[in-house]
Structure 1
Amino acid sequence: MPRKKKQSAFEDTVEIASWLPWWAGLLLAVVSYLGLHALAVTAPPSTPAMPGELGNVVVAQMFRTMAFYGQYLLPAIFTLGALVSVLRRGKRAKLYQDVSRTPSQQALESLTWHEFELLIGEWFRRQGYAVVETGGVGEPDGGIDLVLSKQNQIYLVQCKQWKALQVGVNVVRELMGVMAVQNASGGFVVTSGRFTDEARRFAEQAKITLIDGRQLTGLLRQQSKASAARPAVQSAPASPEAAPACPKCGADMVMRTASRGANAGRSFWGCSQFPTCRATRPI
Protein backbone atom coordinates (compact mmCIF):
# COMPACT_ATOMS: atom_id res chain seq x y z
CA MET A 1 0.00 0.00 0.00
CA PRO A 2 1.20 3.56 -0.61
CA ARG A 3 2.30 5.67 2.29
CA LYS A 4 0.00 8.22 3.81
CA LYS A 5 0.49 11.70 2.37
CA LYS A 6 2.16 14.13 4.76
CA GLN A 7 -0.23 16.85 5.96
CA SER A 8 0.10 20.24 7.62
CA ALA A 9 -0.60 20.75 11.32
CA PHE A 10 -3.94 22.38 10.42
CA GLU A 11 -4.96 19.41 8.24
CA ASP A 12 -3.92 16.99 10.99
CA THR A 13 -6.08 18.87 13.51
CA VAL A 14 -9.08 18.83 11.16
CA GLU A 15 -8.45 15.10 10.61
CA ILE A 16 -8.57 14.45 14.35
CA ALA A 17 -11.75 16.54 14.68
CA SER A 18 -13.36 14.50 11.88
CA TRP A 19 -13.07 11.35 13.99
CA LEU A 20 -15.80 12.76 16.22
CA PRO A 21 -19.50 12.40 15.33
CA TRP A 22 -20.56 15.43 13.27
CA TRP A 23 -22.89 16.70 16.00
CA ALA A 24 -20.07 16.55 18.57
CA GLY A 25 -17.86 18.63 16.26
CA LEU A 26 -20.53 21.32 15.89
CA LEU A 27 -21.16 21.33 19.65
CA LEU A 28 -17.45 21.83 20.34
CA ALA A 29 -17.35 24.62 17.75
CA VAL A 30 -20.04 26.53 19.65
CA VAL A 31 -18.56 25.84 23.09
CA SER A 32 -15.03 26.82 22.03
CA TYR A 33 -16.23 30.07 20.49
CA LEU A 34 -18.25 31.10 23.54
CA GLY A 35 -15.46 30.23 25.97
CA LEU A 36 -12.63 31.88 24.04
CA HIS A 37 -14.72 34.91 23.10
CA ALA A 38 -15.48 35.54 26.78
CA LEU A 39 -11.74 35.52 27.50
CA ALA A 40 -10.85 37.64 24.46
CA VAL A 41 -13.20 40.51 25.42
CA THR A 42 -11.98 40.82 29.01
CA ALA A 43 -10.45 44.14 29.96
CA PRO A 44 -6.73 44.40 29.17
CA PRO A 45 -4.43 44.16 32.17
CA SER A 46 -3.54 47.47 33.79
CA THR A 47 -0.01 48.83 33.92
CA PRO A 48 1.79 47.11 36.80
CA ALA A 49 2.55 49.24 39.85
CA MET A 50 5.53 47.09 40.79
CA PRO A 51 8.25 45.79 38.47
CA GLY A 52 7.71 42.25 39.78
CA GLU A 53 4.13 42.24 38.43
CA LEU A 54 5.21 42.78 34.82
CA GLY A 55 5.41 39.04 34.16
CA ASN A 56 1.78 38.51 35.20
CA VAL A 57 0.66 41.30 32.90
CA VAL A 58 2.55 39.82 29.94
CA VAL A 59 1.07 36.36 30.55
CA ALA A 60 -2.47 37.75 30.86
CA GLN A 61 -2.10 39.70 27.63
CA MET A 62 -0.69 36.65 25.88
CA PHE A 63 -3.75 34.59 26.86
CA ARG A 64 -6.07 37.37 25.62
CA THR A 65 -4.26 37.43 22.28
CA MET A 66 -4.42 33.63 21.92
CA ALA A 67 -8.12 33.68 22.82
CA PHE A 68 -8.78 36.41 20.24
CA TYR A 69 -7.43 34.30 17.38
CA GLY A 70 -8.55 31.00 18.87
CA GLN A 71 -12.20 32.08 19.03
CA TYR A 72 -12.23 31.90 15.22
CA LEU A 73 -9.64 29.19 14.57
CA LEU A 74 -10.95 26.42 16.85
CA PRO A 75 -14.61 26.71 15.75
CA ALA A 76 -13.42 26.63 12.13
CA ILE A 77 -11.44 23.45 12.81
CA PHE A 78 -14.35 21.72 14.54
CA THR A 79 -16.82 22.82 11.86
CA LEU A 80 -14.58 21.57 9.05
CA GLY A 81 -14.08 18.32 10.97
CA ALA A 82 -17.86 17.90 11.25
CA LEU A 83 -18.24 18.53 7.51
CA VAL A 84 -15.55 15.96 6.69
CA SER A 85 -17.26 13.49 9.04
CA VAL A 86 -20.60 13.91 7.23
CA LEU A 87 -19.02 13.58 3.77
CA ARG A 88 -17.10 10.46 4.77
CA ARG A 89 -20.19 8.92 6.29
CA GLY A 90 -22.06 9.39 3.01
CA LYS A 91 -19.12 8.02 1.01
CA ARG A 92 -18.88 4.93 3.23
CA ALA A 93 -22.61 4.26 3.00
CA LYS A 94 -22.65 4.56 -0.81
CA LEU A 95 -19.56 2.39 -1.20
CA TYR A 96 -21.01 -0.27 1.08
CA GLN A 97 -24.35 -0.28 -0.73
CA ASP A 98 -22.68 -0.53 -4.15
CA VAL A 99 -20.47 -3.48 -3.16
CA SER A 100 -22.94 -5.35 -0.93
CA ARG A 101 -25.69 -5.16 -3.56
CA THR A 102 -23.78 -7.66 -5.75
CA PRO A 103 -20.82 -8.85 -3.66
CA SER A 104 -18.19 -10.81 -5.57
CA GLN A 105 -14.45 -11.39 -5.64
CA GLN A 106 -14.20 -9.13 -8.68
CA ALA A 107 -16.00 -6.31 -6.84
CA LEU A 108 -13.53 -6.53 -3.95
CA GLU A 109 -10.51 -6.60 -6.25
CA SER A 110 -11.71 -3.51 -8.12
CA LEU A 111 -11.48 -1.40 -4.95
CA THR A 112 -8.49 0.72 -4.05
CA TRP A 113 -6.80 -0.11 -0.72
CA HIS A 114 -8.44 2.95 0.88
CA GLU A 115 -11.90 2.00 -0.39
CA PHE A 116 -11.33 -1.51 0.93
CA GLU A 117 -10.58 -0.11 4.41
CA LEU A 118 -13.70 2.08 4.27
CA LEU A 119 -15.80 -0.93 3.27
CA ILE A 120 -14.50 -3.05 6.13
CA GLY A 121 -14.97 -0.22 8.62
CA GLU A 122 -18.57 0.25 7.52
CA TRP A 123 -19.25 -3.47 7.81
CA PHE A 124 -18.00 -3.47 11.41
CA ARG A 125 -20.13 -0.39 12.18
CA ARG A 126 -23.19 -2.30 11.04
CA GLN A 127 -22.23 -5.09 13.44
CA GLY A 128 -22.48 -2.64 16.35
CA TYR A 129 -18.82 -1.62 16.73
CA ALA A 130 -17.58 1.93 17.16
CA VAL A 131 -14.87 2.35 14.52
CA VAL A 132 -11.86 4.66 14.33
CA GLU A 133 -9.98 4.70 11.02
CA THR A 134 -6.32 5.19 11.82
CA GLY A 135 -4.94 5.23 8.27
CA GLY A 136 -2.23 2.95 9.61
CA VAL A 137 -0.10 2.81 6.46
CA GLY A 138 3.44 3.92 7.18
CA GLU A 139 2.58 4.81 10.77
CA PRO A 140 4.38 3.51 13.91
CA ASP A 141 1.33 1.52 15.01
CA GLY A 142 2.06 -1.84 13.43
CA GLY A 143 -0.03 -1.07 10.35
CA ILE A 144 -3.35 -1.06 12.23
CA ASP A 145 -6.07 0.26 9.93
CA LEU A 146 -9.11 0.20 12.24
CA VAL A 147 -9.62 0.32 15.99
CA LEU A 148 -12.93 -1.16 17.12
CA SER A 149 -14.66 -0.79 20.46
CA LYS A 150 -17.69 -2.63 21.77
CA GLN A 151 -18.85 -3.18 25.35
CA ASN A 152 -15.64 -1.63 26.73
CA GLN A 153 -13.49 -4.03 24.69
CA ILE A 154 -10.90 -2.94 22.12
CA TYR A 155 -10.21 -4.85 18.90
CA LEU A 156 -7.60 -4.12 16.22
CA VAL A 157 -8.05 -4.67 12.49
CA GLN A 158 -5.60 -4.99 9.62
CA CYS A 159 -6.98 -4.77 6.07
CA LYS A 160 -5.04 -6.44 3.25
CA GLN A 161 -6.38 -5.66 -0.20
CA TRP A 162 -4.15 -8.20 -1.98
CA LYS A 163 -5.39 -9.51 -5.31
CA ALA A 164 -2.96 -12.35 -5.91
CA LEU A 165 -0.71 -13.01 -2.92
CA GLN A 166 -1.74 -15.04 0.09
CA VAL A 167 -1.51 -13.36 3.48
CA GLY A 168 1.17 -15.17 5.46
CA VAL A 169 1.76 -15.85 9.12
CA ASN A 170 4.05 -12.82 9.58
CA VAL A 171 1.09 -10.45 9.25
CA VAL A 172 -0.79 -12.34 11.97
CA ARG A 173 2.28 -12.36 14.23
CA GLU A 174 2.71 -8.60 13.84
CA LEU A 175 -0.92 -8.01 14.76
CA MET A 176 -0.60 -10.20 17.84
CA GLY A 177 2.38 -8.13 18.98
CA VAL A 178 0.47 -4.85 18.61
CA MET A 179 -2.51 -6.39 20.43
CA ALA A 180 -0.26 -7.21 23.38
CA VAL A 181 1.16 -3.67 23.48
CA GLN A 182 -2.27 -2.04 23.31
CA ASN A 183 -3.93 -4.63 25.57
CA ALA A 184 -6.57 -5.39 22.93
CA SER A 185 -9.18 -8.08 23.55
CA GLY A 186 -8.92 -9.46 20.03
CA GLY A 187 -8.02 -8.75 16.44
CA PHE A 188 -9.09 -9.24 12.84
CA VAL A 189 -7.18 -9.58 9.59
CA VAL A 190 -9.40 -9.04 6.56
CA THR A 191 -8.18 -9.67 3.02
CA SER A 192 -9.68 -9.70 -0.44
CA GLY A 193 -7.44 -12.70 -1.16
CA ARG A 194 -6.55 -15.77 0.88
CA PHE A 195 -4.55 -16.85 3.92
CA THR A 196 -1.86 -19.49 4.11
CA ASP A 197 -2.55 -22.58 6.20
CA GLU A 198 0.22 -21.54 8.60
CA ALA A 199 -1.46 -18.17 9.14
CA ARG A 200 -4.78 -19.87 9.90
CA ARG A 201 -3.20 -22.25 12.42
CA PHE A 202 -1.40 -19.42 14.20
CA ALA A 203 -4.55 -17.23 14.31
CA GLU A 204 -6.54 -19.97 16.04
CA GLN A 205 -4.20 -19.73 19.04
CA ALA A 206 -3.92 -15.92 19.11
CA LYS A 207 -7.51 -14.62 19.48
CA ILE A 208 -7.33 -13.34 15.92
CA THR A 209 -10.15 -13.80 13.42
CA LEU A 210 -9.21 -14.20 9.76
CA ILE A 211 -11.69 -13.19 7.06
CA ASP A 212 -10.69 -13.97 3.47
CA GLY A 213 -12.26 -12.74 0.25
CA ARG A 214 -14.71 -15.63 -0.04
CA GLN A 215 -15.92 -15.25 3.53
CA LEU A 216 -16.18 -11.49 3.12
CA THR A 217 -18.43 -11.73 0.08
CA GLY A 218 -20.63 -14.14 2.03
CA LEU A 219 -20.84 -11.78 5.01
CA LEU A 220 -21.69 -8.83 2.76
CA ARG A 221 -24.35 -10.89 1.00
CA GLN A 222 -25.81 -11.95 4.34
CA GLN A 223 -25.92 -8.35 5.60
CA SER A 224 -27.52 -7.20 2.35
CA LYS A 225 -30.23 -9.87 2.60
CA ALA A 226 -30.91 -8.96 6.22
CA SER A 227 -31.27 -5.27 5.34
CA ALA A 228 -33.56 -6.02 2.40
CA ALA A 229 -35.71 -8.39 4.46
CA ARG A 230 -36.14 -6.00 7.40
CA PRO A 231 -39.11 -4.02 5.98
CA ALA A 232 -40.83 -7.25 4.90
CA VAL A 233 -40.41 -8.70 8.38
CA GLN A 234 -41.96 -5.57 9.91
CA SER A 235 -44.98 -5.66 7.61
CA ALA A 236 -45.45 -9.44 7.78
CA PRO A 237 -43.96 -10.72 11.05
CA ALA A 238 -45.42 -14.19 10.62
CA SER A 239 -43.51 -14.91 7.38
CA PRO A 240 -40.82 -17.61 7.65
CA GLU A 241 -37.18 -16.59 8.03
CA ALA A 242 -35.17 -16.54 4.81
CA ALA A 243 -32.24 -18.92 4.62
CA PRO A 244 -29.07 -17.03 5.66
CA ALA A 245 -25.69 -17.25 4.00
CA CYS A 246 -23.05 -19.44 5.60
CA PRO A 247 -20.76 -17.29 7.80
CA LYS A 248 -17.79 -19.46 6.83
CA CYS A 249 -18.01 -20.04 3.07
CA GLY A 250 -20.88 -17.79 1.95
CA ALA A 251 -23.07 -20.59 0.53
CA ASP A 252 -26.79 -20.79 1.31
CA MET A 253 -27.76 -22.58 4.52
CA VAL A 254 -30.56 -25.12 4.94
CA MET A 255 -32.72 -25.88 7.94
CA ARG A 256 -31.89 -29.18 9.66
CA THR A 257 -33.02 -30.97 12.81
CA ALA A 258 -30.58 -32.45 15.30
CA SER A 259 -31.09 -36.20 15.68
CA ARG A 260 -28.84 -36.82 18.66
CA GLY A 261 -27.10 -35.16 21.56
CA ALA A 262 -28.37 -32.53 23.99
CA ASN A 263 -30.10 -30.60 21.18
CA ALA A 264 -31.92 -33.59 19.68
CA GLY A 265 -35.18 -32.53 18.04
CA ARG A 266 -34.16 -28.88 17.74
CA SER A 267 -33.87 -27.13 14.37
CA PHE A 268 -30.76 -25.26 13.25
CA TRP A 269 -29.20 -23.79 10.13
CA GLY A 270 -26.54 -25.96 8.49
CA CYS A 271 -24.35 -25.21 5.48
CA SER A 272 -25.64 -26.62 2.19
CA GLN A 273 -22.05 -27.63 1.32
CA PHE A 274 -21.90 -30.19 4.17
CA PRO A 275 -19.70 -32.19 4.69
CA THR A 276 -17.19 -29.92 2.91
CA CYS A 277 -18.28 -27.08 5.18
CA ARG A 278 -19.64 -27.92 8.65
CA ALA A 279 -20.65 -24.42 9.75
CA THR A 280 -23.91 -24.10 11.70
CA ARG A 281 -25.86 -21.31 13.33
CA PRO A 282 -28.90 -21.32 15.64
CA ILE A 283 -32.38 -20.35 14.46
Structure 2
Amino acid sequence: MAKKSSLFDDLFFIASKLPWWLSLTIALVSGFGLHSVANGPATFSGDPHQLQSVVLGSMARTLASIGQYLLPFIFGCGTLASLFRRSRSLNLLKSATTPGGNTLLSISWREFELLVGEALRRRGYKVQDNDGSGPDGGIDLVARRDGETYLVQCKQWRSVQVGVPVVRELYGAMAAEGAVGGFVVTSGTFTKQAREFASGRNLQLVDGAVLRQWIAETKKPGPRPTVEVVAERVEPC
Protein backbone atom coordinates (compact mmCIF):
# COMPACT_ATOMS: atom_id res chain seq x y z
CA MET A 1 0.00 0.00 0.00
CA ALA A 2 1.36 3.40 -0.98
CA LYS A 3 2.23 5.69 1.88
CA LYS A 4 -0.12 8.64 2.18
CA SER A 5 1.50 12.05 2.20
CA SER A 6 0.29 15.20 3.90
CA LEU A 7 -0.43 18.52 2.20
CA PHE A 8 2.78 19.85 3.76
CA ASP A 9 4.79 16.99 2.21
CA ASP A 10 3.18 17.51 -1.19
CA LEU A 11 3.85 21.26 -1.20
CA PHE A 12 7.44 20.77 -0.07
CA PHE A 13 7.98 18.16 -2.79
CA ILE A 14 6.71 20.62 -5.41
CA ALA A 15 8.76 23.49 -3.98
CA SER A 16 11.98 21.46 -3.89
CA LYS A 17 11.60 20.39 -7.54
CA LEU A 18 11.04 23.90 -8.84
CA PRO A 19 13.99 26.11 -9.82
CA TRP A 20 15.24 27.82 -6.66
CA TRP A 21 14.39 31.30 -7.95
CA LEU A 22 10.79 30.27 -8.66
CA SER A 23 10.32 28.75 -5.19
CA LEU A 24 11.78 31.91 -3.66
CA THR A 25 9.43 34.09 -5.72
CA ILE A 26 6.40 32.06 -4.61
CA ALA A 27 7.54 32.32 -0.97
CA LEU A 28 7.76 36.12 -1.17
CA VAL A 29 4.58 36.68 -3.19
CA SER A 30 2.48 34.34 -1.05
CA GLY A 31 3.77 35.93 2.15
CA PHE A 32 2.98 39.50 1.15
CA GLY A 33 -0.26 38.60 -0.64
CA LEU A 34 -1.73 36.54 2.19
CA HIS A 35 -0.61 39.12 4.75
CA SER A 36 -2.74 41.76 3.01
CA VAL A 37 -5.74 39.41 3.00
CA ALA A 38 -5.27 38.46 6.65
CA ASN A 39 -5.21 42.12 7.68
CA GLY A 40 -8.09 43.20 5.46
CA PRO A 41 -11.04 45.08 7.02
CA ALA A 42 -14.02 43.16 8.32
CA THR A 43 -17.23 45.16 7.93
CA PHE A 44 -20.82 44.19 8.70
CA SER A 45 -23.64 46.69 8.32
CA GLY A 46 -26.19 44.51 10.08
CA ASP A 47 -27.91 43.44 6.85
CA PRO A 48 -28.74 39.69 7.15
CA HIS A 49 -28.16 39.28 3.42
CA GLN A 50 -24.51 40.14 3.94
CA LEU A 51 -24.04 37.56 6.68
CA GLN A 52 -22.85 34.81 4.33
CA SER A 53 -20.22 37.01 2.69
CA VAL A 54 -19.06 38.15 6.13
CA VAL A 55 -18.63 34.54 7.29
CA LEU A 56 -16.74 33.60 4.11
CA GLY A 57 -14.56 36.67 4.44
CA SER A 58 -13.78 35.78 8.04
CA MET A 59 -12.80 32.24 7.03
CA ALA A 60 -10.59 33.59 4.25
CA ARG A 61 -8.80 35.91 6.66
CA THR A 62 -8.29 33.07 9.14
CA LEU A 63 -6.77 30.81 6.48
CA ALA A 64 -4.67 33.70 5.17
CA SER A 65 -3.36 34.45 8.65
CA ILE A 66 -2.01 30.89 8.79
CA GLY A 67 -0.90 30.71 5.18
CA GLN A 68 1.07 33.96 5.34
CA TYR A 69 3.62 32.11 7.47
CA LEU A 70 3.18 28.50 6.33
CA LEU A 71 3.56 28.93 2.56
CA PRO A 72 6.67 31.14 2.75
CA PHE A 73 8.19 28.61 5.16
CA ILE A 74 7.47 25.65 2.86
CA PHE A 75 8.67 27.34 -0.30
CA GLY A 76 11.63 28.85 1.54
CA CYS A 77 12.69 25.35 2.57
CA GLY A 78 12.09 24.23 -1.01
CA THR A 79 14.42 27.00 -2.20
CA LEU A 80 17.18 25.74 0.09
CA ALA A 81 16.60 22.13 -1.04
CA SER A 82 16.76 23.15 -4.70
CA LEU A 83 19.97 25.13 -4.15
CA PHE A 84 21.52 22.24 -2.23
CA ARG A 85 20.67 19.73 -4.97
CA ARG A 86 22.13 22.00 -7.67
CA SER A 87 25.28 22.58 -5.62
CA ARG A 88 25.62 18.84 -5.13
CA SER A 89 25.31 18.14 -8.87
CA LEU A 90 27.92 20.80 -9.66
CA ASN A 91 30.31 19.25 -7.12
CA LEU A 92 29.76 15.82 -8.63
CA LEU A 93 30.54 17.14 -12.10
CA LYS A 94 33.66 18.88 -10.82
CA SER A 95 34.80 15.71 -9.06
CA ALA A 96 34.19 13.60 -12.16
CA THR A 97 36.43 15.90 -14.22
CA THR A 98 39.21 15.98 -11.61
CA PRO A 99 41.98 13.37 -11.79
CA GLY A 100 41.56 11.04 -8.83
CA GLY A 101 37.98 12.22 -8.24
CA ASN A 102 34.75 10.24 -8.27
CA THR A 103 34.14 7.82 -11.13
CA LEU A 104 30.81 6.75 -12.60
CA LEU A 105 30.95 3.49 -10.65
CA SER A 106 32.04 4.94 -7.31
CA ILE A 107 28.93 7.11 -6.82
CA SER A 108 25.42 6.09 -5.79
CA TRP A 109 22.54 5.72 -8.24
CA ARG A 110 21.07 8.98 -6.91
CA GLU A 111 24.35 10.82 -7.48
CA PHE A 112 24.51 9.28 -10.94
CA GLU A 113 21.14 10.85 -11.79
CA LEU A 114 22.33 14.26 -10.53
CA LEU A 115 25.51 13.95 -12.60
CA VAL A 116 23.56 13.06 -15.75
CA GLY A 117 21.21 15.98 -15.15
CA GLU A 118 24.11 18.41 -14.83
CA ALA A 119 25.76 17.02 -17.97
CA LEU A 120 22.51 17.61 -19.90
CA ARG A 121 22.28 21.17 -18.54
CA ARG A 122 25.74 21.83 -19.95
CA ARG A 123 24.40 20.68 -23.33
CA GLY A 124 21.66 23.31 -23.31
CA TYR A 125 18.76 21.52 -21.62
CA LYS A 126 16.62 22.60 -18.69
CA VAL A 127 16.45 19.55 -16.46
CA GLN A 128 13.87 18.62 -13.86
CA ASP A 129 14.39 15.82 -11.37
CA ASN A 130 11.44 13.45 -11.57
CA ASP A 131 12.32 11.77 -8.25
CA GLY A 132 12.06 8.10 -9.16
CA SER A 133 11.28 5.76 -6.27
CA GLY A 134 14.60 3.93 -6.49
CA PRO A 135 17.45 2.91 -8.76
CA ASP A 136 14.97 1.42 -11.24
CA GLY A 137 11.93 3.58 -10.52
CA GLY A 138 10.20 5.35 -13.39
CA ILE A 139 11.45 8.25 -15.50
CA ASP A 140 14.37 9.81 -13.67
CA LEU A 141 14.72 13.19 -15.39
CA VAL A 142 12.70 15.43 -17.68
CA ALA A 143 14.79 17.57 -20.02
CA ARG A 144 13.43 20.49 -22.07
CA ARG A 145 14.93 22.54 -24.85
CA ASP A 146 13.39 24.83 -27.48
CA GLY A 147 9.93 24.10 -26.09
CA GLU A 148 10.29 20.34 -26.57
CA THR A 149 10.33 17.64 -23.89
CA TYR A 150 12.70 14.70 -23.58
CA LEU A 151 12.49 11.88 -21.04
CA VAL A 152 15.63 10.51 -19.43
CA GLN A 153 16.17 7.09 -17.89
CA CYS A 154 19.40 6.56 -15.91
CA LYS A 155 20.88 3.11 -15.33
CA GLN A 156 23.99 2.87 -13.20
CA TRP A 157 24.53 -0.80 -13.91
CA ARG A 158 28.02 -2.00 -13.10
CA SER A 159 28.07 -5.35 -14.88
CA VAL A 160 24.75 -6.08 -16.63
CA GLN A 161 24.21 -4.57 -20.07
CA VAL A 162 21.08 -2.45 -20.54
CA GLY A 163 18.69 -4.49 -22.63
CA VAL A 164 15.82 -3.76 -24.97
CA PRO A 165 13.07 -3.89 -22.29
CA VAL A 166 14.40 -0.67 -20.69
CA VAL A 167 14.59 1.09 -24.05
CA ARG A 168 11.14 -0.12 -25.07
CA GLU A 169 9.71 1.07 -21.74
CA LEU A 170 11.11 4.55 -22.27
CA TYR A 171 9.74 4.66 -25.80
CA GLY A 172 6.26 3.83 -24.47
CA ALA A 173 6.59 6.54 -21.81
CA MET A 174 7.53 9.06 -24.51
CA ALA A 175 4.29 8.34 -26.35
CA ALA A 176 2.24 8.54 -23.16
CA GLU A 177 3.81 11.84 -22.07
CA GLY A 178 3.95 13.45 -25.51
CA ALA A 179 7.75 13.72 -25.42
CA VAL A 180 9.60 14.22 -28.71
CA GLY A 181 12.61 12.18 -27.67
CA GLY A 182 14.41 10.37 -24.93
CA PHE A 183 17.77 9.40 -23.47
CA VAL A 184 18.79 6.16 -21.83
CA VAL A 185 22.04 6.84 -20.00
CA THR A 186 24.14 4.12 -18.41
CA SER A 187 27.56 3.82 -16.84
CA GLY A 188 27.97 0.54 -18.72
CA THR A 189 26.92 -0.58 -22.20
CA PHE A 190 23.84 -1.59 -24.23
CA THR A 191 22.96 -4.89 -25.83
CA LYS A 192 22.83 -5.21 -29.60
CA GLN A 193 19.04 -5.67 -29.42
CA ALA A 194 18.65 -2.42 -27.45
CA ARG A 195 20.64 -0.48 -30.06
CA GLU A 196 18.65 -2.05 -32.89
CA PHE A 197 15.37 -1.03 -31.26
CA ALA A 198 16.59 2.57 -30.76
CA SER A 199 17.84 2.86 -34.34
CA GLY A 200 15.49 5.02 -36.43
CA ARG A 201 13.66 6.29 -33.36
CA ASN A 202 14.32 9.54 -31.51
CA LEU A 203 16.02 7.61 -28.74
CA GLN A 204 19.61 8.26 -27.80
CA LEU A 205 21.53 5.51 -26.04
CA VAL A 206 24.36 7.06 -24.07
CA ASP A 207 26.80 4.50 -22.70
CA GLY A 208 29.53 5.04 -20.14
CA ALA A 209 32.16 5.99 -22.73
CA VAL A 210 29.96 8.68 -24.27
CA LEU A 211 28.88 9.99 -20.87
CA ARG A 212 32.51 10.34 -19.81
CA GLN A 213 33.13 12.28 -23.00
CA TRP A 214 30.17 14.57 -22.21
CA ILE A 215 31.65 15.20 -18.78
CA ALA A 216 35.12 15.87 -20.19
CA GLU A 217 33.67 18.36 -22.69
CA THR A 218 32.30 20.52 -19.86
CA LYS A 219 35.86 21.67 -19.15
CA LYS A 220 36.53 22.71 -22.74
CA PRO A 221 35.80 26.30 -23.87
CA GLY A 222 33.51 27.01 -26.79
CA PRO A 223 30.09 25.68 -27.89
CA ARG A 224 28.97 22.20 -26.92
CA PRO A 225 28.41 19.55 -29.62
CA THR A 226 24.87 19.36 -30.90
CA VAL A 227 22.51 16.55 -29.98
CA GLU A 228 22.58 15.22 -33.54
CA VAL A 229 26.33 14.63 -33.33
CA VAL A 230 25.89 12.65 -30.12
CA ALA A 231 23.16 10.57 -31.71
CA GLU A 232 25.46 9.63 -34.56
CA ARG A 233 28.09 8.48 -32.12
CA VAL A 234 25.82 6.29 -30.02
CA GLU A 235 23.68 4.65 -32.69
CA PRO A 236 24.79 1.18 -33.87
CA CYS A 237 26.77 0.72 -37.04
- Same fold by TM-score, threshold 0.5 exceeded? yes
What do the CA deviations read for 1:54-75 (whole angstroms, capped 9, x no partner)? 3322211111101100111111
Higher mean alpha-carbon deviation, 207-216 vs 95-104, is at: 95-104
Residue 143 in structure 1 maps to residue 141 in structure 2: no
What is aligned with 2:112? 116
Match of residue 205, structure 1, among 175, 200, 215: 200
CA distance in 2 between partners of 1:7 and 1:118 (Å): 25
* Pairwise CA distance, 1:15: 2.5
Please list every run of 5 or more consecutive structure 2 residues that lacks an aligned counterpart in the other structure.
223-228
Map of 2:130 onto structure 1:
134
RMSD across aligned positions (CA): 2.7
Displacement of 1:100 after TM fit? 2.2
Normalized against structure 2, the TM-score is what? 0.85
Residue segments in structure 1 that go unaligned for 5+ positions in a row: 234-245, 250-276, 279-283
Check whether the contact 2:167–2:197 (CA below 8 A) recurs between aligned residues.
yes
Aligned-pair CA distance for 1:182: 1.1
CA distance in 1 between counterparts of 2:105 and 2:194 reads 21
Q: 2:64 aligns with which of 54, 63, 67?
A: 67
Deviates more, 1:14-23 or 1:35-44: 14-23
Cα offsets for 1:198-235 (capped at 9, x unmatched): 000001132100011122122222333x1xxx3xx8xx
Q: Which residue of 2 aligns with 1:22?
A: 20
The aligned residue for residue 55 of structure 2 is 58
CA deviation string 1:128-156 (max 9, x = no partner) = 10000011236xxx811110110011100
SS of 1:132 mapped into structure 2:
strand
Shift of the alpha carbon at 1:109?
1.1
From 81, 84, 87, the equivalent of 2:84 is 87
1:83 and 1:13 map into 2 onto residues whose CA distance is 14
Q: CA deviation at 1:103?
A: 8.6
Question: Matched residues, percent identical?
Answer: 46
User: What is the CA distance between 1:178 and its match in structure 2?
Assistant: 0.8
Q: 1:220 to 1:185 in 2, by over 3 A?
A: same
Task: Give the deviation of 1:29 after TM superposition.
Answer: 1.8
CA–CA distance in structure 1, aligned partners of residues 103 and 3 of structure 2: 26
Match for 1:124: what amino acid?
A: L
Residues 44 and 50, structure 2, Cα contact 8 Å, conserved in 1: no
Residue 237 of structure 1: aligned partner: none
1:153–1:98 CA distance, 2 compared to 1 (3 A):
same
SS at match of 2:92: helix
Describe the SS at the equivalent of 1:188. strand
Q: 1:183 to 1:110 in 2, by over 3 A?
A: same
Instruction: Determine the structure 2 residue equivalent to 1:32.
Output: 30
For 2:226, the equivalent position in structure 1 comes to none
- Give the structure with higher Rg (CA): 1
Structure 1 Cα separation of the partners of residues 132 and 146 of structure 2: 24
- The answer to whether the 8 A contact 1:29-1:79 is kept is yes
Alpha-carbon distance between aligned partners in 1 of 2:217 and 2:28, rounded to the nearest angstrom:
42
CA–CA separation in structure 2 for the residues paired with 1:160 and 1:99: 17
* Residues in 2 aligned to 1:206 and 1:187: alpha-carbon distance in whole angstroms: 9
Are the equivalent residues in 1 in contact too, given 2:157–2:186 (CA < 8 A)? yes
- Asked if 1 retains the 8 angstrom alpha-carbon contact of 2:181 and 2:202, the reply is yes
Q: Which protein has the bigger strand share?
A: 1
Quick one: distance in 1 between partners of 2:3 and 2:205? Answer: 29
TM-score (norm 1): 0.72
- Alignment CA distance shift 1:41-1:158 (3 Å): same
Larger relative helix fraction: 2
* Match in the other structure for 2:180: 185
Partner AA of 1:49 in structure 2 = D
- Aligned pairs, how many? 225
Deviation (angstroms), 1:83: 1.2
